[in-house]
Amino acid sequence: MSESRFLELAAARRSIRKYKTTPVQREKLELCLEAARLAPSACNAQPYRFIVIDEPILKDKFCAAAFSGVYSACKFAAAAPVLVAVVSDTGKLTAWLGNQVQDTNFRLMDIGIAAEHFVLAAAEQGLGTCWLGWFSAKAAAKALGLGSGKKIEILLAAGYPEEAPAPRKRKTMEEFRSFNSI
């Protein structure tokens, strides 16, 4: 396969579940946020807002709410110096209509693309991240004081890695793709 810096970055990224206590510089976070902001979205609706939580008292309160009870499997994220809550917006009518007609959740696709832009930019900056889908969305929204109708769709933990996990198994290329056939 041809040499590609992007491929190297994509291959080096890991989900990180142990973090150093070292704070993350705001400039690095701003760069990751800029990468997320530039992401494409259906009808250019950009149906999201990224809320960065790096103030320790708020972060503790947020984590206590988000990762309690059945969600405690993700408690490791409380040790990350930064959490990012990706909140969905209603977006544009055209994107909503597309959703209805095609039965495809463009809003979640858009959020996924923007969040992964953040994650890959973080990896380039030497930061570790972990996507977190297993958390109490209701309790987390309440801890942030989000208004009704606003939902945290996904969380990202971020910080300097304190571990170097081995790569997780992926489908082989044969299992993954085909050209001009099913």
Ligand X SMILES: Cc1cc2nc3c(=O)[nH]c(=O)nc-3n(C[C@H](O)[C@H](O)[C@H](O)COP(=O)(O)O)c2cc1C
Place of tokens 């959740």: 105
Rounded to the nearest 10 degrees, the angle between the axes of helix 56-66 and helix 137-144 is 150
Give the binding range for ligand X (CB under 6 A) out of 47-55, 103-111, 128-136, 141-149: 128-136
Site for ligand X, residues 3 to 22, rule: CB under 6 A: 14-15, 17
Told to check if 131 binds ligand X by CB under 6 A, we report yes
| Residue 96 in contact with ligand X, rule: CB under 6 A | no
Binding status of residue 85 toward ligand X by CB under 6 A: no
* Residue 126, token pair as written in the block: 């030497």
Least distance to ligand X from the beta carbon of 165, Å? 6
3-state secondary structure (DSSP) of residue 5: helix
Q: Does 127 bind ligand X (CB under 6 A)?
A: no
Phi-psi sector, 32: left (phi>0), alpha (psi -120 to 50), beta:
alpha
Residues between 51 and 80 that touch ligand X (CB under 6 A) = 74
Could you tell me which of 94, 119, 99, 97 has the C-alpha nearest to residue 109? Answer: 99
Residues that bind ligand X (CB under 6 A): 14-15, 17, 74, 130-134, 165, 168
